[in-house]
Every structure is written in C-alpha cells, then in structure tokens.
Amino acid sequence: MERFEMGNFDIAVIGAGHAGCEAALAAARMGKETLLLSINLEALAMMPCNPSVGGSGKGHLVREIDALGGEMGVNIDKSFLQSRMINTAKGPAVHSLRAQADKARYHDEMKRVIEAQPHLCLKQAEAVELLLEEGRVSGLVTRTGAIYRARAVILATGTFLRGRIFIGDSAYDSGPNGLAPSVALADDLKAKGMRLRRFKTGTPARALGSSLDYSRMEEQKGDDPIVPFSFLNDSLEKEQHSCWLTYTNEETHRIIRENIHRSALYGGHIEGVGPRYCPSIEDKISRFADKPRHQLFVEPEGAATDEVYLQGMSSSLPEDVQLRFYRSIPGLEKLEIVRPAYAIEYDCIDPVDLKLSLEHRDFPGLFCAGQFNGSSGYEEAAAQGLMAGINAALWLDGREAFILDRSEAYIGVLIDDLVTKGTEEPYRIMTSRVEYRLLLRQDNADLRLTEKGRALGLVSDARWEKYLDTKQKMEAELLRLAETVPPAAETLAFLESQGLDPGRAAPSLAALLKRPQLDYESLAPLDPQRPALPRHLIDKVQVAVKYEGYINKQREQVARFQRMEQRQLPEEIDYEEISGLRLEARQKLNRYRPRSLGQASRISGVSPADINVLLVYLEKLRRQEAQ
Ligand SMILES: Cc1cc2nc3c(=O)[nH]c(=O)nc-3n(C[C@H](O)[C@H](O)[C@H](O)COP(=O)(O)OP(=O)(O)OC[C@H]3O[C@@H](n4cnc5c(N)ncnc54)[C@H](O)[C@@H]3O)c2cc1C
C-alpha cells in the first residue's frame, strides 16, 4: 500500500467515542493542533448501550467533567429526554443525577461542537499503525495509507479493538451496532509489545415501542423541577418522556434456564471477562437463583424513533430464545425485536501499565483513555478522555501532569483505582469506592474543580463568571445564616409551632438549620430578609450547614491522607536495592513505580511494613541530601 504524508498535528486522538471527544476538545481548547479520527463518524459519541448519562457515582463524574470545562454535562442538558435525581432517600453524598438521553441528538450535538472547535480537525479514517521514533510516538498511519505526524497520540478505541460479537453460537468480527471493528491496529500494538487482554460486555435487545403494552407496566416519570447537569444551566424546561417498569417471572427464568447451554457465555464461546456490576439476565438467573423476579426498565432511545431499550436484560442467548423470554414478561407479550441482544469481546490494556497522567509507561507520548483502559461506561470514558487530553497537552509543553487525587474528585478515585490497583474486569465507578464522598458531592464539583479547569485554560469566561457568582453568593449566605439571630420571641413561637424543643440560647439561623426537622424553606418565616437564591445554591448552603461536623471530620481524614500523598517517591528508585522490603513488594513497586508513599500503600502486595521500610529509606535519603 502506497503511503503519503497528510498532515502534522500536536496531538492525534484515535477514537471519537466518549473518551476521544473529551480528549480532543480538551487538547484543542488548550491550543493544541488536534486530529480526531473515527473509523465511522456515526460512532462519534455513540451510545451503543444504555440511553442514559449519569446515575450512582457516574453523575458525580459528569458534574466534575463539567466543572473542569469538559463537554458531557452541557451535551446531555441539550439532548436529554428525562431527568431524575436518584438516591434522594439517602444522604447528599450519594445523591446522583441520571438523565435519559436522546442518542441521535446526543451524537448530533457533540458532533456539532467538535466540528466548530478551533484547532480541532475531525476525520473518518481507521488508524492501522502507530508510528514510533526512538521508542516515542510520532504519529499514525491509516488504512488508506495516509500518514499523520503527531508529537503525542491518545488511544481511545473503546469496544472496537478486535471487536467480536456473540449471539448464541454465532460469532463474528464486528464493532458495536454492526460497525467495522479495528483489527489491524490491535495487531500492530501487539507487535510493538503492548500487553493487551480480552474483556467483554453485553447489551439487551432493542424493541419496537409500539409493540409493547404499557398498561401492564409502572410508569416512571422525570423530576419536576429538572436539575441540570451543567453548572452553566440554572434551570431547564422540557416535556419529559417516561420510562416503564416491569418484571421477569418464573416462566422467563424457566425459558432461560432450559436454554442456558445455548448462550455464548455459558456455551463457553466467550473468553473475555465481563462486568460484575452489569450482569446479563443469564448471569442474574444463575447467580441469584432464589430471586423470583428481576426488574426491567423500558427506556426511550430517542424522540424521533420508536426503538426502546430493555434495561437490565442484556443477553447472548440466540434470537429465538431472546424472543421467547422477552415475550414472557408482562407488557412484552407481543414484543417485536428491532436489534437483538448481544455480547461483545474486545482488546484493552491492563491500566497498571499507565502512569497517573494516563501516559503509557512503555510508549512515551502515548496516552490512553476509556474502555481501552479497562473501564466500562460513557462517564468513566469521558472523564479519562478529558484527563488524557489535558495531560497530553501539558506533556508537550514539558509541564507537570494534572493529577487529581482520591480526596479531590471521583475522577481521582477512578484513575487511581485503575492505575494503582488495576482491574480484572470492566471497571465501573461507584460511590462505595470513594472514601471521602461527603466532600466529593456532585453539588459542589464546581467549587472543587472550576479553578483548576480555569488554570488549565479549559474554563470559558461565561463559566468562570458564573462560578465566581456562585462562590460569592454561597459564602455570603453562609456568613449571613451564621450571623443572623432572629428575635428570641419569634424563634420561640416558631419552634413551639413546629412542636420542637426551644433549647436555651437564641440560636442563629445556621444553628436552627442544623436541626434535622428544619430545612432552608421551613425557616422562611423567621428570615424575611433572605436573598432570592437559585435552587442549586440553596442545596449547597443547606448541605454545608447541616453536615458541617461530618464535613470537618472528613477534612481531617483528608489531611492525614494527603500527608502520605505528598511524600513523593523519586522516579529512579531501584526497589530491588532496598533491603527490608519483601520480594513481592520490590517486584510490584518496580513495576508500578508509584509517585508517592500514599500510592505505594494502595498497591496490592505492598504491606504496611513495606511502607515503614520506605519511610525509613526516604528519611535516610533526606538526611544524605541535607549533608
Ligand atoms: C455491547 C455494549 C454493551 C455495553 N454495556 C455497557 C454497560 O452495561 N454499562 C456501561 O457502563 N457501559 C457499557 N458499554 C460501554 C460503553 O459503551 C462504553 O463504555 C463507552 O462507549 C466507552 O467509550 P469509549 O470512548 O472508550 O469508546 P467507544 O465509545 O467505544 O468509542 C470508540 C471509538 O474509537 C473508534 N475507533 C476504534 N478503533 C479505531 C481505529 N483503529 N481508528 C479510528 N477510530 C477507531 C470508534 O470508531 C469509536 O469512535 C457497552 C458497550 C457496548 C458496545
């Protein structure tokens, strides 16, 4: 095949999925000449699985991407069909926004932003080879022979890399939704010595909405008022679509059990490791055999299509079995399958081969993001894409990498878990993975991260003005509540009218707000001078006041955590030389090369005793340098 030069860029991004789009936008917004490739532009910001953005833990990631100046939050606010705040029965730390997405609109809106972005060049092309010069990336070659030079490359190939689809005992090379897989690049990366492994994931069938009987299901409506994902939006008005809830039953389970040998997974056709937290219906029935029924949510795929998504019902059983078990479910008796459920296997790396900046340890200038790093989910992919784009740009300028640690952001937990602990299955974020979740709430992501995004050049003036306004108003309101002491007589009458113990001293509004029985609204009679604040600001203020004690406690824990994070470990240490370290620890430390004592302490196989040995070693180093 003849090869020819087609252009020079600072950064080339291979893959325009959720990771690639955020990476390319971040790099271009930081002023880098950026190329964004996708085998097929219809796969740009495509949602091959669930038609939603957000949910438990994932909503936090979207808010953090937004606060840093990323695009996902803005894009879903333009293209959502329904919005709900979930986990509201629990504490504010786990409140998570989830929006049903109009998939086609989400794609169109993101493509429009990408096409309009200065310094960003979008192309439909398949990368088949990575170019290296003296071991460092220098560009790529496409299937048609085009050579694109680039000083850094970001790999965000998703579920396409050596993609293989499984439905029953039929298997064929393909990306999701029948799109072309990416095989040549997988061969090239392997030939260059990159360690790749097989993961798998699965998706349910899509059905014709008009073939369903919704009168046999429970309607689930969106919230009113709607809470926007992006901090740029104070409110959103939209007529929302509903989702519908129904359940499997014994007949569904019997059909699946009797045919489980025909499933690609249980038939032994699939070698890839699947996500424990997104089990197929076959898995659910095998693993939770005692459960009499499993939930199924019917979710709209888009305003301009009658296709619906059968959430919770992914499968790799053959189509005839799929039709029978779906039709055994109330409301689906006459269901028409538009697209069958399937499982997909694909190549990805072991993320412990990456630095916390998402640069590959063995290929200087090569950054990796998304499903390719062993994660699963649009939000996880977008968060890594943003960080890879930022760090590729900083790396080109010889600037220090932008790392968020576990006490600063869900993004920090996501990347630290992947890179330091590794993962043996597709990794998805969860609130339970986050130690300091009371500090890392979705409502305060702007206060935690917008200044960092501004320093990187990613936060627009409009977003910056909005942030300053929010910060100023919040601080003013917290001060006002703390300093405002309503007249004692009125407070007494008010508390008695609420049947509450008046207590001794005349409390401030803040002290009253700390009472579990009272909230910001209920205090209005005692607070006639209050400013008119938008909902999102009231939520921020209320949490800050009501949880002040817990928040301060968590801040102390973070201070202890950061002391370990700030004990940097020199890059060039040869851990084999440090006597007192156990063999496993020496091997793991030399392989993972942690940045700090804190990161070292999270590597499995490195014990607290090993950390003490390192502490003594660092102290000795410090004294030697002081001499
Ligand atoms: C069947 C299926 C089921 C899923 N189930 C779930 C689930 O249950 N829960 C969940 O959280 N997530 C699920 N996902 C995952 C979710 O879709 C991904 O996490 C998300 O899309 C990953 O985003 P990404 O940017 O890493 O990759 P993708 O969105 O897959 O995008 C990859 C991009 O790379 C491009 N590309 C690949 N190779 C090349 C090349 N050589 N040259 C040029 N372009 C290339 C593709 O064209 C595409 O644009 C599922 C995905 C699939 C396919």
Structure tokens, 396: 């080109």
Which of 571, 573, 554 lies closest to 562 in space, CA to CA? 554
From the candidate CATH numbers 3.30.565.10, 3.40.720.10, 1.10.1740.10, 1.10.10.1800, the one assigned to the domain spanning 461-558: 1.10.10.1800
Q: Is 361 left (phi over 0), alpha (psi -120 to 50) or beta?
A: alpha
pLDDT at 275: 82
Read off the pTM: 0.96
Q: Which atom of ligand 1 is nearest to the CA of 370?
A: 26
Distance of CA 179 from the midpoint of ligand 1 (Å):
11
CA 450 / ligand 1 centre spacing (Å): 28
pLDDT score, position 503: 74
Please check whether residue 397 is in contact with residue 16, taking contact to mean a CB–CB distance below 8 angstroms: no
21 CA: nearest ligand 1 atom: 25
Strand extents, DSSP E, 315-395: 337-339, 342-349, 366-368
Tokens (6 digits) for 546: 């009501």
pLDDT at 317: 97
Instruction: Supply the pLDDT for residue 505.
Output: 66
Residue nearest to atom 24 of ligand 1 (CA): 158
Ligand 1 atom with the shortest distance to the CA of 384: 26
Q: Residue of the nearest CA to atom 34 in ligand 1?
A: 15
Phi-psi region of 443 (alpha: psi -120 to 50; beta: other; left: phi over 0): alpha
Q: Which of 179, 207, 204, 191 is nearest to 346 (CA)?
A: 179
Q: How far is the CA of 107 from the centre of ligand 1 (A)?
A: 13
Name which CATH class applies to 567-626: mainly alpha
**Segments of the chain scoring below 70 in pLDDT:** 504-505
Which of the 8 DSSP states describes residue 226? Answer: B
Instruction: Find the residues whose C-beta lies inside 6 A of ligand 1.
Output: 14-20, 37-40, 43, 46, 48-49, 126-127, 156-161, 176, 182, 185, 201-203, 278, 344, 370-372, 376-378, 381, 428
In this prediction, residue 573 carries a pLDDT of 87
C-beta separation of 585 from 575 below 8 A: yes
C-alpha–C-alpha distance, residues 78 and 183, integer Å: 35
Dihedral sign for Cα atoms in the order 17, 22, 26, 29:
positive
Pocket test for ligand 1, best of 13, 21, 42, 49 (most atoms within 8 A of CB): 49
The rounded Å distance from CA 34 to ligand 1 centre is: 21
What pLDDT, on the 0 to 100 scale, is given for residue 15?
A: 98
Q: Going by CA atoms, what residue is nearest to atom 44 of ligand 1?
A: 38
**What is the model's pLDDT at position 8?**
98
Ligand 1 atom having least distance to the Cα of 19: 25
Question: What pLDDT score does 504 carry?
Answer: 65
pLDDT digits (tens, 9 = 90+) for 466-482: 999 999 999 999 999 99
Tokens found for residue 149 = 């030079």
Asked if omega into 92 is within 30° of 0 (cis), the reply is no
pLDDT at position 278 is: 84
Domain boundaries, the chain: 461-558, 567-626
